[in-house]
């Protein structure tokens, strides 16, 4: 067999194997990622289901910025793996502060670039509590921002 012919046979064989393998993977049914003993679904499907549930009712006293941060924001902002700036990162927060409090509130309330969930993940937080969490993070990073500047 000529070297060119052998190379073509190997190339066709590998292409066929790739086609068969990828067809098998595509044909796999989508299943729920995992479920705990309470029937709660985790993973992508769980997230989609969770987003459409009504927000849990919170009828306690108004929470401080620190409490909101610890309850919700810290999930992403206390870990560098999420890409969210840590609370003491004065450079990143300084850049955000220059955009103004109205833009920061808009990003918190509406979510930001599919990275930050709506209302920062705190669906039962009031706007006042969300603002307090922004001011808490700014204060932690050493940045003073006046919430009355804009609005």
> Residue 93 in contact with residue 134, Cβ under 8 Å?
no
What is the domain extent for residue 69?
Answer: 63-151
Residue 8 has a pLDDT of 73
**Is the residue at 84 inside a domain?**
yes
Domain count for the chain: 1
Q: What is the pLDDT along the chain (151 residues), one digit of tens a residue?
A: 666 666 676 666 766 666 665 554 444 444 444 445 555 555 555 555 666 666 677 788 999 999 999 999 998 898 877 778 888 888 999 999 999 999 999 999 999 888 889 999 998 999 999 999 999 999 999 988 877 655 4
Distance CA 136, CA 122 (A): 15
By the 8 A CB rule, do 131 and 105 touch?
Answer: yes
Q: What is the pLDDT of residue 114?
A: 82
Cβ neighbour number for residue 106 with a 10 Å cutoff: 13
Q: Is residue 151 part of a domain?
A: yes
Residue 105 lies in a domain: yes
The answer to the question of residue 121 being in a domain is yes
Phi, psi values for residue 81, rounded to 5°? -75, -15
Alpha-carbon span 105 to 128, nearest angstrom: 10
Is-contact 69 75, C-beta < 8 A? no
**Model pLDDT, residue 136:** 95
Domain contains 34:
no
90-97 helix and 127-140 helix, angle to the nearest 10 degrees? 130
> Which CATH number covers residue 108?
1.10.760.10
Residue 120 counted as domain residue: yes
């Amino acid at each position: 067999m000529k070297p060119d012919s052998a190379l073509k046979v190997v190339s066709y064989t590998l292409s066929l194997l790739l086609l068969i393998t990828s067809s098998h993977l595509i044909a796999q049914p989508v299943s729920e990622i995992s479920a705990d003993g309470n029937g709660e679904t985790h993973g992508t499907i769980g997230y989609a289901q969770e987003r459409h549930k009504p927000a849990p009712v919170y009828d306690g006293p108004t929470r401080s910025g620190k409490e909101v941060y610890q309850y919700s924001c810290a999930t992403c902002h206390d870990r560098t793996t999420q890409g969210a700036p840590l609370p003491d990162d004065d450079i990143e927060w300084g850049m955000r502060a220059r955009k103004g409090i109205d833009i920061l509130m808009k990003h918190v309330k509406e979510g930001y670039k599919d990275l930050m969930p709506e209302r920062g993940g705190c669906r039962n937080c009031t706007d006042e509590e969300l603002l307090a969490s922004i001011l808490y993070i700014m204060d932690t990073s050493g940045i003073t921002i006046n919430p009355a500047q804009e609005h």
